[in-house]
Structure 1
Amino acid sequence: MQTELIPYPQRQQQRSALTVLIVFLKLGLTSFGGPIAHLGYFRRQFVERLGWLDEESFTDLVALCQLLPGPASSQVGFSIGLLRAGWLGGLAAWCGFTLPSVALLLGFAAIAPDLNGTLGAGLIHGLKLVAVAVVAQAVWDMAKRLCPDLTRAAIALFALAAASVLTNAYGQLTVIAFGAALGLALCRPASSDAARLRPLGAEEFPISHKVALLALAAFFALLLALPAIAAIYPSHTLAVFDAFYRSGALVFGGGHVVLPLLQEQTVATGWVAPSDFLSGYGAAQAVPGPLFTFAAFLGWRMLAAPHHWAGAWLATAGIFLPGLLLVLGTLPYWRRLRASAPLTAVLSGTNAAVVGLLGAALYSPVWTSAVVTKIDFVVAAIGFCLLTRWKAPPLVVVVFCVAAALIESMWK
């Protein structure tokens, strides 16, 4: 028997943020498999089991969060918390879903320096091979979904070539901007289904238009002002927050796109060792929760202060904040956004460009740092097939790649 939906103000009175925290904490401890799998867990929990949302409202939320930059599953969870228990509910949902993954990755970051010897080297190398398989799968799936025609495939190839050549600090921003411009000029938007969607707006969420505008203003102010302030008043702490904030603000198309953005901001700048970067990314596949918590690992492993606890929380706050601000800023205007043909065209080009960006990152640093022998190639290929053809969970691929790398290291 499906639970009858109660109007928002009454639900807020009847349900506490503690209830939201407990439900999302369970999801944060058990949601393996990446963003698409997370949304499946959410649907089963909040539509089918608890009846917190109807199917239409949940579909609207997912569509909005996939349209925006940022971690879609975290944005959907935050929105559900808002709907259920107001502002405290949104915070509780984010904490419950995110902090278990953060804790696990910080634990790995703390013990990583002690992983010496044959076993430690094999473990680290296995996690690098996991990154090869996972990123290759992401490129494969995103190319099929985001580049379904020749025009968008051409934009993706252009972006791949440009990203391979433009290696300066603004290379990826340039590629994304060109992708957006080409999308506006060349991509015909798909027919809008906005007419059949019931809008999600201020009447359902505790978000007024004034609050939404303030959130959008804060998003753009931080995006534009942080680099300028860091240039005028040099501070490594400010530079770290700016780097992770910009990475979180520019992740179009899927969580895996954060890999090339963070690589440019942390490895290319010398803040994080390349081996740490790839091993941490591989470890992120083995834990539940959002992939963006990889930032916590990087913040802990910074070679210079702020690092450890300070670096981890600074990086985590920086990478999640822009996506949450965008959700707050766009919910009241969702129906209008869905009906915008130019915006649809721009996003089509942008998403095609990020496929090229991720393809370039698959080669360097992922492939070049991990695949050094023929056996490595075989292991990575099997991991890729496990993900794409046998639909194995990422955790299975982690176990396989690490076990194979350990056997290889002991055999030598």
Structure 2
Amino acid sequence: MKQPKHLNFLWDVFVLAATSFGGPQVHWALFLKRLVHQKAYLSEEELFEIQALCSVLPGPTSTQMITAIGLKRGGASLAYLTLIVWITPAVFIMTAAAYGMTYLTNRAVLQYVLPVGIGLILQAGWTMAQKVIRSPMYVLIFLLTLGLGIAFSSPYIFPLVLVLGGSISSLNFKEFPRQNKHRMIIPWANFNLYWGFLLGLAILGHLTDYYPIRMFENFYRNGSIVFGGGQVLAPVLYTEFVEFKGLIRSDDFLTGMALSQSLPGPVFALTSYLGVLLMRDYGFLGELTGSAIGALGVFLPGTFLIFFVYRIWGQLKQYRFIRASLAGIQASSVGLTIVAVYTFMSPLIVNGDGVSIAVVLGSFLLAQSGKFPAIALFSAALVAGYFLA
């Protein structure tokens, strides 16, 4: 029997979905290892382009990256299948967690999960830096991003420094060969879907005051404006649903946040967990609907955007300054990765948590050796946390 087309690719996506711990900074390194070096589905240069492109878009960066890879390999159908396969394990686990566990009996079990994650983020940043920081200009962009990211601890600085890095490196456009330019043909359909959903849901929610629609609008709006991955999304959702609206208890939210960052796949799957809790008064099917609303709401806007942007990317590359800007965006991405390390490490240093700091450094070295996959390091962290809790 003939094997279905692209089945091997979807299997590799599933393996990544089940083993890719650590958020978008680490996912990038795992995509590079499996999809580029092991399976050669695309080249390093193509992955770097996709990573740079997704970095400047709002939404879940790693999800947009792997969806764009599916779009490149097999068109829209494969891209949607890739999206579903990629998000399903994390969404399923987070939904089950919301049903069966509102809080951990002893959160100390997770005490070493974050330090391991920091070590993996640091290793991913180091890997990327070796490949993209190739001249003094990119060192300058990296240091500028690092300084601004540390000085202004706001998610809104993310797109600004990426644009700044791209603008600086675009001045290097003369190093790139000219291409014959063609009139750009822009398919606006997915961009119209992106802003149409955003506007339509806001109007519909206001007119009907129907709770599931307002939920969908909340998740879609946050998925449309958040830059920087799940670590940025979580505090935004906490402010809205816990502090401002009081719809979710603080300990329930923090439990879900800890779980989402301890699981493989997209950290944005936290919204499935929150969707169940927001629909807890609507019975089992209502809670299941809440999970679907949470997942669809937060993943749809990023999907619409990457479909729109990636389809015109080939046309945009005919301009030399666009091609030149990519390396600057990549250098800024490295800077933001180290900013994330700094942000997570600061409390450990302030509190004098020498054990956790040692775990960070050990995780970095073990990951850098290439002999210990992320899932093994996170499993060891959970086992150590269980026995030492």
Length-normalised TM-score, structure 1: 0.66
Contact 2:224 2:301 in 1 (8 A): yes
The equivalent residue for 1:323 is: 302
Aligned-residue CA RMSD in angstroms?
A: 4.9
**Match of residue 267, structure 1, among 233, 242, 259:** 242
Deviation at 1:325, TM superposition (A): 0.7
CA distance change for structure 1 residues 222 and 354 in 2, over 3 Å: closer, same or farther? farther
Deviation at 1:215, TM superposition (A): 0.6
Deviation at 1:326, TM superposition (A): 0.8
The equivalent residue for 1:204 is: none
Counterpart of 1:301 in 2: which secondary structure? helix
Q: Is residue 35 of structure 1 aligned with residue 55 of structure 2? A: no
Contact 1:230 1:238 in 2 (8 A): yes
Deviation at 1:101, TM superposition (A): 1.9
Counterpart of 2:265 in 1: which secondary structure? coil
Distance 1:69 1:192 in 2: 26
CA distance change for structure 1 residues 404 and 176 in 2, over 3 Å: closer, same or farther? same
**Match of residue 289, structure 1, among 258, 265, 272:** 265
Deviation at 1:155, TM superposition (A): 4.3
CA distance change for structure 1 residues 219 and 63 in 2, over 3 Å: closer, same or farther? same
Contact 2:220 2:297 in 1 (8 A): yes
Deviation at 1:106, TM superposition (A): 2.3
Deviation at 1:95, TM superposition (A): 1.7
CA distance change for structure 1 residues 351 and 27 in 2, over 3 Å: closer, same or farther? closer
Partner AA of 1:86 in structure 2: G
Counterpart of 2:101 in 1: which secondary structure? helix
Give the alignment of 1:195-234 within 5 angstroms.
195=176, 212-234=187-209
Gaps of 5+ in 1: 1-12, 164-171, 202-207
Partner AA of 2:302 in structure 1: G
Deviation at 1:90, TM superposition (A): 1.4
Give the alignment of 1:298-337 within 5 angstroms.
298-302=274-278, 304-305=280-281, 308-334=287-313
CA distance change for structure 1 residues 49 and 196 in 2, over 3 Å: closer, same or farther? farther
Distance 1:48 1:153 in 2: 29
The equivalent residue for 1:22 is: 11
Contact 1:255 1:291 in 2 (8 A): yes
Question: Residues 125-151 of structure 1: CA distance to partner in whole angstroms, max 9, x if unpaired?
Answer: 443774587479869988x98995676
Contact 1:129 1:380 in 2 (8 A): yes
Contact 1:241 1:314 in 2 (8 A): yes
The equivalent residue for 1:98 is: 87
**Match of residue 110, structure 2, among 124, 127, 134:** 127
Partner AA of 1:328 in structure 2: F
Contact 2:116 2:360 in 1 (8 A): yes
CA distance change for structure 1 residues 97 and 182 in 2, over 3 Å: closer, same or farther? closer
Deviation at 1:310, TM superposition (A): 1.1
Contact 1:133 1:381 in 2 (8 A): no
Partner AA of 1:309 in structure 2: L
Deviation at 1:316, TM superposition (A): 0.6
Q: Is residue 87 of structure 1 aligned with residue 76 of structure 2? A: yes
Distance 1:58 1:183 in 2: 19
Report how many residues are paired.
362
The equivalent residue for 2:132 is: none
**Match of residue 244, structure 1, among 216, 219, 229:** 219
Deviation at 1:80, TM superposition (A): 2.6
Counterpart of 1:247 in 2: which secondary structure? helix
The equivalent residue for 1:59 is: 48
Length-normalised TM-score, structure 2: 0.70
CA distance change for structure 1 residues 271 and 110 in 2, over 3 Å: closer, same or farther? same
Contact 1:255 1:292 in 2 (8 A): yes
Question: Residues 164-190 of structure 1: CA distance to partner in whole angstroms, max 9, x if unpaired?
Answer: xxxxxxxx7xx569x7499779x7455
Distance 1:305 1:361 in 2: 37
Contact 1:33 1:288 in 2 (8 A): yes
Contact 2:146 2:336 in 1 (8 A): no
Gaps of 5+ in 2: 130-137
**Match of residue 277, structure 1, among 237, 246, 253:** 253
Contact 2:59 2:224 in 1 (8 A): yes
